[in-house]
Structure 1
């Protein structure tokens, strides 16, 4: 399927950049080699719903190899990229995000990676022998992300003092788990007028649906997160680190103790940006509800119990910026 038309510039909103203030330095940096990481992770999840991890053990050469393959793909002629157009909903897309009319200054690849060797991803170029280097780099990267995803979730369990440290990580392991990988490219964009401090919306404000998402970007900044007081904060890029977003499902599992962070991306006219995001989700039939061992005496659940499949389907019917947990609150 090829996109029949793309939105024009006048349909993509602009974002004024927030001031670069001292509060940027308060974004947590978690050293995964430190014995204190479980406690600092829990603190970051409660205050920000967001943190950066260093000493993560993922080979930078592996990361850069996949990024190089992505750059080569996005540099292909548009007619070639369109051959890998979206199919339920995986594949290549441009400007249009989701089913409800959200748009942004980006192009992307959305890949279902839970079926190895990614045969169910519905992306023509991955089935082409000429792109075996892309498929190989993707396989190695996803393997590393699975390990990092479980490691972070188990450190969270340690920090929450759960009896079983795999209480959450086991939800995202196994062949039935719902695993998605996203490559985003934000090309250089025109400024609306001279002297404007900001850029076009690359990816509109939203929260992620999964437990956590693992983000890596190149050296170009553009990511912004919302603080609890509503202020938007610019996140300086660090291509050697990974950024972790807390998602809606983990907010529910912790009965609101962890905050699902609202975030967005702004494109600019100086440098293009490439980001790679891994989402490890549970099986579609997995029920999501607050963990009983976290609940204190007399504490009431803030959310209805639902399956991961039910939540995904409901969320995909909304706009990006919608508070998608609202129908599931008690």
Structure 2
């Protein structure tokens, strides 16, 4: 009523109670839109109450009243919003610092003094390059930062998740049980505009370092063997993972295909043939060659290696040899 009497909208210290109230509401987690709606509703009730007493010849006073209310609400909106966001940013900063400290300790295998879930899903991510990162005249670093920001926003939507990311990928910890990881991969790919591959395993908090090592190894297996983007667990790559470990057995298996080194035509035909469940016609179609050419190349493989791709009894050894050969040949 003082504003109506003087025609002056409050400023300075007179608005401190609004600032304090907005800070408390931010601490309580009250949505900002609800807080602002309450002030606007109060302005409407006040305007209705006062304007009901105006006579027909007091139109100028009614307009002045309306202007005062709008000016007051404009100032309230600015002050309340600023105080609210300042407090929420402070809270978010404290939360982020705490989460980062916990995350770093978990990755290092160090003890933490906060209550943790009984199990985490460790997720390794590989992020493809955005097309704009290769465009001439475009700052690739800016594009990469935008990609990372969008991925981080999607991961932060998961309560209590923690992550560290680089332009190529990273590691995330999600409290178990995690939501549908295939759906998460689709959301990340769509948000970032790139192909995203996930490797996952579930571990207790004290074994997170081992879980991180495993998912990184699985991502390397996916890369080495040219697997398509998807969600992978150890069970999906158990043979490739085992044969990616250096050992005398792996060297012996890989050596079976040494005669094919440099014969890219034979290796490509063998891979395609095995990927197509030994369907020679589909292999010929995929390679854009005649089926007789496929037969000839497969016979060459058998002659050079002693492993006949068309024989059922030699298939397990041939598959294992190809996996070991690829793992040994990988620059990683």
Q: TM-score range by the shorter chain?
A: under 0.3
Bigger relative CO (Cα 8 Å, ≥ 6 apart): 1
Q: How does the TM-score come out when normalised to structure 2?
A: 0.22
Q: How does the TM-score come out when normalised to structure 1?
A: 0.23
Larger radius of gyration: 2
More helix per residue: 2
